[in-house]
Amino acid sequence: MKILQTILVIVVIVILVVACLPKKNTNEYLLRYDLNKPKSKMEMPQNLNEISGLSFYKDNQLACINDEKGTVFIYDLVFQNIIETIDIGKNGDYEGVEVVDDEIFIMKSNGKIKGFKISDGSEREIDCSSKDVKEYEGLSYHPQTGSLLLVTKEKFKDKNDKKTIYAYSLTTEKFEKFLSIDEDMIKGRDGEKTFSPSGIAIHPTTKEIFVISSKGKKLLILSPDGNKNTLIALNPKTFVQPEGICFTPNGDLYISSEGDNSNGFILKFAFF
């Protein structure tokens, strides 16, 4: 009987100890990329030294732009070289590129977008300029709404309390605000709120919205409905000047960066 009582006492003690242990936060965000260990680093040739945007083009190929030319460079990830160039617009301050089906879109910092049909060479002009926006820097495609997404780097002073993502519907041609990025979303653990978006991309499987900022070296990940999932501080030695971001259909992540007195480069991060 005493043995049984002793066993019961031990069991109770174990239960109490386990109950008092700190509980794991089940809401902790799981990032399925190791941003400290790129799978590969690809140095860009001289004509992409100031690479400012990229998009998935087709298997093993990315579409890239230099921020001074209206030329799209098709970069092959296997050969690690430019295999094709497509001249779309005149020279200018280009800050975004996105491929949607058979069409390539390139965006200037003022929100003027040019579309180019790969199959027949036809073109179209899209005007997403806004009186509130001083500069856009980042273009993506939102398949759920069939819209191009443009993220603001800087708005005019009286409107600059929030960064804004705008949407242009490719079906209705309607241009409107999509969601806002407020200061609480971009505040780091040190209280620092420096965040000027330089690229945006939609994850192909989770539908999350990834917004990268070269200034402040941060990556903001939003849920599909625009809530903050996490804010990640990027290592400035790895991400010298991150400007472009895109995904392949299987979820692999590519981030482009201008070099620091050296060639621009693209980093690959495998999805796990």
Burial of 187 by CB count in 10 Å (0-12 exposed, 13-18 middle, 19+ buried)? middle
Sheet with 209-215: strands ordered across: 196-202, 209-215, 218-222, 228-233
Helix (H, G, I), strand (E, B) or coil at 47: helix
Provide the pLDDT for residue 22. Answer: 42
Torsion from C-alpha of 244, 247, 251, 257, nearest 10 degrees: -20
pTM for the whole structure? 0.88
List the domains of the chain with CATH numbers.
Answer: 39-269 (2.130.10.10)
For position 161, what pLDDT does the model report? 64
- What local confidence, expressed as pLDDT, does residue 1 receive? 52
Question: 208: how many CB neighbours lie within 10 A of its CB?
Answer: 15
**How confident is the prediction along the chain (272 residues), in pLDDT tens digits per residue?**
556 555 544 544 444 444 444 444 446 899 999 999 999 999 999 889 899 999 999 999 999 999 888 999 999 999 999 999 999 988 889 999 999 999 999 999 999 999 999 999 999 999 999 999 999 999 999 999 999 999 999 988 655 568 999 999 999 999 999 999 998 999 888 778 899 999 999 999 999 999 999 999 999 999 999 999 999 999 999 999 999 999 999 999 999 998 777 789 999 999 99
Q: What is the pLDDT of residue 238?
A: 95
Q: Distance (Å, rounded) from C-alpha 116 to C-alpha 97? A: 11
Measured at the alpha carbon of residue 38, what is the angle toward residues 37 and 39, in degrees to the nearest 5? 115
Which pLDDT value is given to residue 95? Answer: 95
